Amino acid sequence: MDFQLTEEQKMVRDMVRRFAETEVKPFAAELDRTHRHPAEILAQMAEMKLLGIAVPEEYGGGGMDNVSYVLSMIEISRACASCGVIMSVNNSLYCFPVMAYGTHEQKQKYLEPVASGRSLGCYGLTEAGAGSDPANMRTTAVRDGDGWILNGEKKFITNGNVADYCVLAAVTEKGKGYKGISTFVVNLKETKGFSVGVVEEKMGINASGTAELIFEDAHAPADALLGQPGEGFRQMLTTLDGGRIGIASQAIGIGRAALEDALAYAKEREQFGKPIAEFQAIQWKLADMAMELDAAELLTLRAAYLEDKHLPYEKEAAMAKCFASDSAMRAAVEGVQVLGGYGYIREYPMERHMRDAKITQIYEGTNEIMRLVIARNLIKGK
């Protein structure tokens, strides 16, 4: 098995690493403190084609592969987890389903503005009573002439307060459970009856807006439907598989930031006449962090490779997301411990890494759900 990256993939990784180090990382603490949307950073990312990496150039994207996406996501998230999740949602949860299920005309209309980075996209799935159980969703789409009338509220939507476009899941046929769900792509800025509700105050990823989307007799045109009615649940599952690769990459980036900061501190901090990095108790923490993050990266690259080869990757994506997010959380917790009291104060970035890492165990499917997905695939022999 060849673990070597191609020259193009190395070039992308190195380019994004330089950009993240010089143009993103210096602003991460300020963005976290002020909760400010990083518009100027996203504009630069758009120029680099990072907001539509795997979308063909024909539709405004970078025309790259998903391995390059993972490498780029790690570097951006290592510098700023908020910028990382904005990038992940735009690529995995908006661009992917429009690219995979949209017609040529829909891609021109709804994909190109977002893949190019001129606009941002979001994904409207979660509701107050429908998180891990999407069949319980209450948002509806009812035919109205040649269009649709949308009613309902979506909850915890990343980018929801700033997005121009939304891939939206809604019930088109009540009483059919999963088979009654359809997917729509909606231009939020041109949809009467749409409004942004509460923008949540969160523990972490504070420069990334998390908002309610409210639809009250909102009209969507006929071409808003992706695929056919009733195909939404299947489309959703495939979309979330790719989303889990994105969040696994985000988690690895956060974990690597925690490891790097802990290592640098351990080399400088002296106790009992020598750097604490020379104490075995600290060395074992650093070793475990490095070992788990390397394993997480390999799992994530495997999932991305399978996606690029158009091979099944549901189980592999769930494994990557679950292991990477758990590893990132452990790295952040241990990083705080290495720094001691300094790890607990905001003068140092470690406490931000810990706050940012936690959400990766929750969104794109909780890690409890990830384990169910993995077990289901094992039982089926996949």
Block residue for tokens 């069949």: 135
- For 96, the token pair is 């992917």
Spatial distance between the Cα atoms of 214 and 230, rounded to a whole number of angstroms: 22
Judgement on whether residues 102 and 133 belong to the same structural domain of the protein? no
Judgement on whether residues 270 and 368 belong to the same structural domain of the protein? yes
Block residue for tokens 């300020």: 30
Q: Is residue 1 in a domain?
A: no
Task: Map residue 157 onto helix, strand or coil.
Answer: strand
Residue-level pLDDT at 135: 75
The CATH number assigned to the domain holding 322 equals 1.20.140.10
Q: Closest by alpha carbon to 89, among 292, 296, 359, 367?
A: 359
Residue-level pLDDT at 1: 65
Q: Is residue 256 in a domain?
A: yes
Q: Hey, CA dihedral for 227, 302, 257, 63, is it positive or negative?
A: negative
CB 69 within 8 Å of CB 138: no
Judgement on whether residues 215 and 269 belong to the same structural domain of the protein? no
Q: Is residue 238 in a domain?
A: yes
Residue-level pLDDT at 54: 96
Average pLDDT over residues 162-181: 93
Residue 124 pairs in a beta bridge with 168
Block residue for tokens 């970035």: 349
Average pLDDT over residues 95-120: 97
* Last residue in a domain, options 97, 120, 143: 120
Most distant CA atoms of the chain, gap in Å: 79
Helix (H) or strand (E) holding 187: strand 181-187
Q: How many domains does the chain have?
A: 3
Spatial distance between the Cα atoms of 265 and 252, rounded to a whole number of angstroms: 20
Judgement on whether residues 160 and 190 belong to the same structural domain of the protein? yes
Judgement on whether residues 58 and 96 belong to the same structural domain of the protein? yes
Judgement on whether residues 371 and 280 belong to the same structural domain of the protein? yes
Judgement on whether residues 257 and 365 belong to the same structural domain of the protein? yes
Spatial distance between the Cα atoms of 121 and 99, rounded to a whole number of angstroms: 13
Spatial distance between the Cα atoms of 259 and 265, rounded to a whole number of angstroms: 10
Judgement on whether residues 37 and 111 belong to the same structural domain of the protein? yes
Q: Closest by alpha carbon to 317, among 32, 70, 38, 116?
A: 70
Block residue for tokens 């509700």: 197
Q: What percent of the chain has pLDDT over 70?
A: 100
Residue-level pLDDT at 176: 86
Range of the domain at 201: 122-230
310-346 pLDDT, tens digit per residue, is: 999 999 999 999 999 999 999 999 999 999 999 999 9
> CA separation (Å) from 164 to 40, 169, 218, 250?
17, 16, 15, 23
Judgement on whether residues 97 and 69 belong to the same structural domain of the protein? yes
Block residue for tokens 């025309």: 63
Task: Map residue 51 onto helix, strand or coil.
Answer: coil
Residue-level pLDDT at 80: 98
Judgement on whether residues 306 and 207 belong to the same structural domain of the protein? no
197-222 pLDDT, tens digit per residue, is: 999 999 999 999 999 999 999 999 99
Query: 47, 292, 364, 368: which one is catalytic?
Result: 364
- For 68, the token pair is 């390059």
Spatial distance between the Cα atoms of 259 and 319, rounded to a whole number of angstroms: 22
Catalytic: 127? Answer: no
Task: Map residue 183 onto helix, strand or coil.
Answer: strand
Residue-level pLDDT at 146: 85
239-266 pLDDT, tens digit per residue, is: 999 999 999 999 999 999 999 999 999 9
Q: Is residue 160 in a domain?
A: yes
For residue 62, give the amino acid letter. G
